[in-house]
A and B are shown apart, each in its own frame.
Chain A
């Protein structure tokens, strides 16, 4: 056991002590603190991270796997291609060959475009890596206020955001990790959770209606792919965090599964109705069922994406379920069916 810290009394200075210049006392002998040092409240802890924190950061960050070889190859070929095109333009001007000159100019332009989008992609990758780091830190270290302030910054919540303000108002120095988590979930994540749930319900019911109406297999698959990707992007936008590489891949696998479901069920419905000789009403209701299936798959994907995107994991009570999405879906489909019938 280490020695407990001894009690200390910091005397409140008199007027003369306040004005007289004082050397900064060292910690070992410190008994007197000038009253000005009372300034900052405990909850306003500075955001500059300490050396220990940075060490933890470095230890926790994912290994830097830069593919230098590939990068060099790509950028070098771009640069060389650009230079070559430039040289060609020059030669074309000298040799008075307008067509090859124009082609070369087009080449330079293309190389420029490529370089720009490549640079953008690099920037985005860098941002993704930073987000991955934040998520990892939230998982591995006990919650405290600077950490959550950091998270809010990554969620692109501004200091004047009303949610952030109400969170700041609620949180206090004596709150422990669990309290902070509760308050952060309620004030900052609660509204975003609700928006996300609404989005998932709307997108999945739209998908359901579209799939139910569309008659062609390929169109179905295209619709599902488009809606699913768009939903994920908009969910990411709501939470302000972008998906890490691994989670994005996992989600795309789900999108593919959904695609396969939409295609397969469309074929099954077509073949089944031909084989069984269904009448129009029966065909319509089987299409509605197919739409419902696709909608539910989309909703499941949405809920999964929401789970991955949310900076703090859901507690068991907060966890949104398929139940309420399903209800909204069925209502939407019934309306569509009535309109068509």
Chain B
């Protein structure tokens, strides 16, 4: 049997040669992560032949030869369901891929011809190993909890209860109103209350809410039903002093919830952070600006605060050579407004502008941390076609709505600045969901995926 390097040593060696990239994709749920990854894999699979990747320099010069799926390195992670996603797009009528739950991974090896003579010495073609990791943005929202105690967290959650949230969480608020920190904990009661709390969180999310903690409650995965996911903020703590709370016996309600909260931090958040998050090289953050714009001012503001909280996780330094071997860190971060095909092409510039304004604070932090970042407006899988109506001198979208109706429409103007109250009063932005175009074979239609890929990975294909 031939002697080969163990896989993880080879990974380190490849990383040293700069031939391995871990590209993480995240975004709040329904931001379009699954469609994005499906399209990305699809474009790279067709890169050598028929993909429309004109904005990738290597592809334009005919140096990008194609990509192949490989066995993924981390066998404990779910494999990204690429085939399922593609087949759902090929159905009649075509259907958007089912969203992934939790984290998934897929390894691609990409073949290219290097333009550098030094790299050519090592062989006519080079291979770049690309690990694609997809994880819910909600998990990142948990990271700020690491800096909080249970008491702090309860207070933060209390402050977050806006009138609209109170209506969504009414059941839980009602049920927990007579709880006192010093009463003995009852296992069944805690389970019921957590169930109410989780339901409330789901309702908040479904009604345009974005800031959801703890994030794992929505996508529990294998942890469903475990006591570690059965806790909630204890609002009645506010009436108690710190000393009095500390003096409570271990079986009291406060101490039990606190223990679960700490356990959640230790066994759920920290491992994700250590095992995965710290190992990413490049990051894509997907934001669905258009849906928020459609939902109104409250949802839009919440999207903004949520994205700010989420982006705090990326405050790292730049990857140097030594860092790359021992502690890889994110050195490039792309922020992309998805579903750009749902507005006309003349609105794309405004969409990028709006996204930049929306993410202004986090972008400044990133720049301070010397992380390259750029905003894009893209459509992973273009569902519409832009048309020009000559007689009206206007652009319009032609596509099939989710209900199956063929329409020709102009969805309204995207503001290029953060919308003020006057804008909300005046405008009637009407964002319509479209169903994907029928797809049988060949590359998926997309908008500006190539620009994003060139910016993210272009330096690896030199």
In the bound complex, residues from chain B placing their C-beta under 8 Å from that of A45 are 388
A109 to B411: give the CA distance in the assembly, Å.
Answer: 71
- Shortest A27–chain B CB gap in Å is 6
A40 touches B387 (CB 8 A): yes
B396 lies within 8 A of chain A by Cβ: yes
Contacts of A38 in B (CB 8 A): 387, 389, 398, 408
Q: Is A179 an interface residue (CB 8 A)?
A: yes
- Once A4-B412, A7-B412, A174-B348 are accepted as A-B contacts, the answer to whether A33 and B389 lie under 8 Å apart by CB is yes
Neighbour of B410 across the interface among A10, A41, A44, A186, CB < 8 A = A10
Question: Do A7 and B410 touch (CB < 8 A)?
Answer: yes
A143 contacts partner chain B, Cβ-Cβ < 8 Å: no
Least CB distance from A172 to B in Å reads 8
- Complex Cα distance, B427 from A46, in Å, reads 31
Chain A residues lying within 8 Å of B385, measured Cβ to Cβ, are 41
A305 to chain B, nearest CB (A): 26
Any A CB within 8 A of the CB of B60: yes
Residue A276 at the chain B interface, CB threshold 8 Å: no
Which residue of chain B has the shortest Cβ distance to A35 in the bound complex?
Answer: B408
Complex contact A10–B349 (CB within 8 A): no
Q: How many Å lie between the Cα of A285 and that of B52 in the bound state?
A: 54
B239 at the interface (CB under 8 A from A): no
Decide if B55 touches A179 in the complex (CB within 8 Å).
yes
B348 close to A4 (CB less than 8 A): no
Where chain A touches its partner, the secondary structure class is loop
Interface flags, B437-453, vs A, CB<8A=1, else 0:
00000000001100100
In the complex the two chains form, is A176's CB within 8 Å of B412's CB? no
Q: State A153–B194 Cα separation when bound (angstroms).
A: 70
Bits for B378-414, please: 1 = Cβ < 8 Å to A, else 0.
0000000111111110111010000001111111110
Say if the beta carbon of B184 comes within 8 Å of chain A: no
**Chain A residue contacts of B423, Cβ below 8 A:** 1, 4
Q: How far is the CA of A9 from the CA of B432 in the complex (A)?
A: 10
B373 CB, nearest partner CB in chain A, Å:
17
Expressed in whole angstroms, the Cα–Cα distance for A27 and B391 within the complex equals: 9
Question: Which of B52, B349, B388 is the one whose CB lies under 8 Å from A42?
Answer: B388
- How close is A169's CB to chain B, nearest CB, in angstroms? 8
Give the residues in chain B near A24, CB-CB below 8 Å. Answer: 391
Asked if residues B427 and A4 are in contact (CB atoms below 8 Å), the reply is yes
Residues from chain A with a CB closer than 8 A to the CB of B54 are: 170-171, 183
A5 interface residue per 8 A CB criterion = yes
Q: Among the listed A6, A27, A39, A182, which residue makes an inter-chain contact with B428, where contact means beta carbons less than 8 Å apart? A: A6
| Also in contact, A10 and B413, with CB within 8 A (given A33-B389, A40-B387, A174-B340) | no
B345 close to chain A: CB less than 8 A: yes
How big is the B interface, by class?
Answer: 35 or more
Residues of A with C-beta under 8 A to B413? 4-5
Whether the Cβ atoms of B388 and A7 lie closer than 8 Å is no
Question: A53 at the A/B interface (Cβ < 8 Å)?
Answer: no
- 8 A Cβ contacts from A20-49 to B: 24, 27, 30, 33, 35, 37-42, 44-46
Q: How far is the CA of A11 from the CA of B405 in the complex (A)?
A: 10
Report which of B349, B390, B392 forms a contact with A46, defined as CB distance below 8 A.
Answer: B390
Task: Tell whether, in the assembled complex, residue A1 and residue B422 are in contact, meaning their CB atoms are under 8 Å apart.
Answer: yes
Residues of A contacting B428 in the complex (Cβ-Cβ under 8 angstroms): 6-7
Q: Chain B: which residue is nearest A183 at the CB level?
A: B54
- CB neighbours (8 Å) of B409 from chain A are 7-10
B426 interface residue per 8 A CB criterion: yes
CB <8 Å contact, B408 and A7:
no
Given A176-B349, A186-B60, A7 contacting B387 (CB threshold 8 A): no
A160 interface residue per 8 A CB criterion: no
When distances are taken between beta carbons in the complex, the residues of chain B under 8 Å from A42 are 345, 386-388, 395
Q: How far is the CA of A176 from the CA of B347 in the complex (A)?
A: 11
A338 contacts chain B at the CB level, 8 A cutoff: no
A106: Cβ under 8 A from any B Cβ: no
**Which residues of chain B from 161 to 206 have a CB within 8 Å of any chain A CB?**
none
B415 interface hit (Cβ, 8 Å): yes
- B429 near A: Cβ within 8 Å? yes
Which chain A residue has the least Cβ–Cβ distance from B350? A4
Given the known interface contacts A4-B413, A7-B412, A182-B55, the answer about A173 and B386 at a Cβ–Cβ threshold of 8 Å is yes
Most interface-central of B54, B55, B406 (chain A CB within 10 A)? B54
**Given A4-B415, A7-B411, A42-B345, do A174 and B388 touch, yes or no (CB 8 Å)?**
no
The answer, yes or no, to whether B104 is at the interface (CB within 8 Å) is no
Contacts of A15 in B (CB 8 A): none
Chain A proximity mask over B217-234: 1 for CB below 8 Å, otherwise 0: 000000000000000000
Contacts A6-B428, A10-B409, A179-B451 given; indicate if A174 touches B392 (C-beta within 8 A): no
CA A204 to CA B429, docked complex, whole Å: 62
Q: How far is the CA of A41 from the CA of B426 in the complex (A)?
A: 31
Question: B288 to chain A: closest CB distance in Å?
Answer: 18
Give bound CA distance, A6 to B413, whole Å: 7
Q: Which residues of the other chain, B, contact A6 by a CB distance below 8 angstroms?
A: 412, 427-428
Residue interface mask A190-224, B partner, CB < 8 A = 1? 00000000000000000000000000000000000
Q: B416: shortest Cβ distance to chain A, in Å? A: 10
B430 near A: Cβ within 8 Å?
Answer: yes
Does A122 have its Cβ within 8 Å of any Cβ on chain B?
no
Give the complex CA separation of A108 and B348 in angstroms.
66
Q: Is the CB of B387 within 8 A of A174?
A: no
- Give CA–CA (A175, B376) in the complex, Å: 12
Given the complex, which residues of A lie within 8 Å of B405, measured CB to CB? Answer: 12
Residues of B near A171 (CB, < 8 A) are: 54
A-B contact pairs, 19 of them (CB 8 A): A4-B429, A7-B409, A7-B430, A8-B410, A9-B410, A10-B408, A12-B408, A37-B389, A38-B389, A40-B390, A41-B385, A41-B388, A42-B388, A170-B60, A172-B52, A174-B386, A175-B55, A179-B451, A183-B55
B interface list, Cβ under 8 A from A: 52, 54-55, 60, 340, 345, 348-349, 385-392, 394-396, 398, 405-413, 415, 422-423, 426-430, 447-448, 451
Q: What residues of chain A have their CB less than 8 Å away from a CB belonging to chain B?
A: 1, 3-12, 24, 27, 30, 33, 35, 37-42, 44-46, 170-176, 179, 182-183, 186
Beyond A9-B430, A37-B390, list 16 extra A-B contacts (CB 8 Å).
Answer: A4-B427, A5-B410, A9-B408, A9-B409, A10-B396, A12-B405, A30-B392, A40-B387, A40-B388, A41-B386, A42-B345, A42-B395, A170-B60, A172-B447, A174-B348, A183-B54
Nearest 9 A-B pairs (CB), nearest first?
Answer: A7-B412, A7-B430, A170-B54, A4-B413, A10-B408, A5-B413, A8-B410, A9-B409, A42-B386
